[in-house]
Structure 1
């Protein structure tokens, strides 16, 4: 890296940082501004500039360590990759224009400095993009695993009676998770009756119904009775209009009705106790 560039950045770090923060604040979208406080934005921006300076010093290992930490932080803060790329471009622009203003860049050395800037910024930009992408993919993967673990829980509510509340859209991948959780849970909890509650499922189309029917059939094959609860009027109308056959599945309009029916199946019932006289 050209010593002129490194010396200028080192000696004018605070001015570069101040100009960088001001310009990047103007380019940040409203959501980013609301989420990140001024103090956090300034601190993260300073880390960003320090990371670049570390790269300038050709300290590869320290740079990679800083880059990893920085990528994890900005992914958590919600900085989009385009925003990070713009930050790199703006850093070069501010630095180069500052060197021009101070007369460091002149007609004789201009092409050499431009070449040095490009030789430095292009590989670093690639390294930043690569690390950001890896961090983002890792974060999304961990979130996906956590969501899958929570998306279809089988909950034992009473002896031999379990409930699976479903919320949100059901796609093929999630249906597979539902099936696995159902079968494992039925065996684990020794369930005789499984209630699938679809109160929180916004749309039941042919595909969703097909997945539910498959799940109910699988539960029946392992020796338990499957009941579908939460059939709202609009869902019932959709099922009828689509010609979906749920004749083999017991249906109830609410989870409460389903639990009452499950108690009957397991030879139990709810009894109101008379108040004891004092």
Structure 2
């Protein structure tokens, strides 16, 4: 980096940080300011400026590591990429304007300094976009995996009896997860009866009904009985209108009634004990 610019940045780090935070707070999305506390905004802003200044010396090997850590942090905080890119642009403007105010920029060196700062900032900007994108994709991927694991849990409630509560929309990808969890869980928990509760599924169309019947059939093929719970009147009407055959599946309108049947199938029952 140009020695004049390098010296100005090093000597005026606190001034640059204060100016940068004031400018970025004015241009920040209102939702960002509400989510991030003043203390966190100040701390993260300081890390951002420190990270940029670390790269004032282009040979500094710490930059990539700091950049990766910073990208992961701002993704978790919800900072938009546009905000981070704008921050780098504002940084260069603050440096130029600060040097102008101190009389360090002259007609002879003005073009050279601006070009130099632009050439210095461009690769940093590209690296920020690259790291930020990779971090975001990795975060989204991890969240997707976590949601998949939570979207179709198989819960053992009693010996030989397991329940799979389904909530939300069922698409093809989720249906595959349901099938996989069912078959794996039936074997793992040595289930004799599996209750699939669709009380929380808002819409049961042809595709959803087909997936549910497939899941029930798969359970039966591995040696367990399947009870379909949460059959609301509108769902019953839909299944009838679609002409779906549920002869091999026990159906109940509530999970409570389903569990009562499951107990009977495993030679147990609920008995009231007198005090």
TM-score when normalising by structure 1: 0.93
Q: How does 1:192-271 map to 2 (within 5 A)?
A: 192-271=192-271
Tell me which moved more, 197-206 or 232-241. Answer: 232-241
Match of 2:134 in 1: 134
Match of 1:48 in 2: 48
Change (3 A) 1:175 1:14: same
Partners of 2:235 and 2:56 in 1: CA distance: 62
Match of 1:166 in 2: 166
Change (3 A) 1:15 1:195: same
Displacement of 1:244 in angstroms is: 4.3
Partners of 1:169 and 1:87 in 2: CA distance: 40
Change (3 A) 1:241 1:22: farther
Listed one character per residue, the Cα deviations across residues 34-69 of structure 1 (whole Å, up to 9, x for unaligned) are: 211101101110110000001011243211111111
Unmatched tracts of structure 1, length 5 or more: none
Partners of 1:207 and 1:91 in 2: CA distance: 54
Match of 1:38 in 2: 38
TM-score when normalising by structure 2: 0.94
Match of 2:83 in 1: 83
Match of 2:177 in 1: 177
Partner SS, residue 88 of structure 1: helix
Unmatched tracts of structure 2, length 5 or more: none
Partners of 1:82 and 1:239 in 2: CA distance: 48
**How many pairs are equivalent?**
275
State the superposition RMSD in angstroms.
Answer: 1.6
Tell me which moved more, 60-69 or 230-239. Answer: 230-239
Displacement of 1:245 in angstroms is: 4.2
Listed one character per residue, the Cα deviations across residues 86-132 of structure 1 (whole Å, up to 9, x for unaligned) are: 11111112211222222222221111112101111110000111111
Segments of 4+ moved more than 4 angstroms: 240-245
Partners of 1:108 and 1:244 in 2: CA distance: 83
Partners of 1:8 and 1:242 in 2: CA distance: 75
Q: How does 1:88-127 map to 2 (within 5 A)?
A: 88-127=88-127
Listed one character per residue, the Cα deviations across residues 230-260 of structure 1 (whole Å, up to 9, x for unaligned) are: 1223433444455544443222111001001
Partners of 2:133 and 2:157 in 1: CA distance: 43
Match of 1:156 in 2: 156
Partner SS, residue 197 of structure 2: strand
Match of 1:272 in 2: 272
Tell me which moved more, 254-263 or 201-210. Answer: 201-210
Match of 2:60 in 1: 60
Tell me which moved more, 56-65 or 36-45. Answer: 56-65
